[in-house]
Amino acid sequence: MSSEPFLDAALFMGMHSSDDEVRRGCKRFFTERLPGGRVLMSLEHVGRCDDLVWRYPRQTQDDYYPFMDNLHTDMAIDRIAYDEDDLRLALEMGSLSGLPPHERLLVAMAIRRDTVVVTASPRLLGRRDLPVHPIESAEREPVFPAGLEQLYERSLALRIDIDNL
């Protein structure tokens, strides 16, 4: 199994969840991988994060994006496009039926690369038959390196409900 997990938009945006338990758990995932950790993310899930943020007023975007931009620079996030084999598996694998296309494709990508999807998505976490791992809880507030933590605190102007990502 690959040591690099896929993450989804629910995990990434979960760092801004209105549910503090979810928020701390998602933040923990990232703080534990800085520096040096490598993760995978589909280009579609990167875009889903942007799509969500762009629905907020300009000031909220301006408070959020410096954190996101720096995290994407500081952390080794391999952004990967789907290929034909990912598409084929997503459509043909019966255990993926019932999931929305963006999740079918992401799980298919993980299966093909012999890894897992780490998520905070209630929909995916309800599927025990898939290579999906939940976030680990964090009783205390995880902390990013100093400069990034300051940007993160400012970015909390954005708080979301991740249930529909």
Alpha helices in 32-145, H assignment, sequence order: 43-53, 58-74, 84-92, 101-112, 122-125
Element at 133 (helix H, strand E): strand 132-134
CATH architecture of 6-158: 3-Layer(aba) Sandwich (3.40)
DSSP SS3 for 63: helix
Measured torsion, CA atoms of residues 129, 11, 40, 143, in degrees rounded to the nearest 10: -130
The confidence score (pLDDT) of residue 141 equals 96
| Residue 83: pLDDT over 90 | yes
CA gap 126, 29 in Å, rounded: 20
Element at 148 (helix H, strand E): helix 146-155
The confidence score (pLDDT) of residue 85 equals 97
Q: What is the pLDDT of residues 3-49, one digit of tens each?
A: 799 999 999 999 999 999 999 999 999 999 988 889 999 999 999 99
Measure CA 44 to chain center. Answer: 11
The confidence score (pLDDT) of residue 1 equals 58
Q: What is the pLDDT of residues 142-160, one digit of tens each?
A: 999 989 999 999 999 999 9
- Poorest-confidence range of 12-16, 32-36, 119-123, 128-132? 32-36
Element at 29 (helix H, strand E): helix 20-31
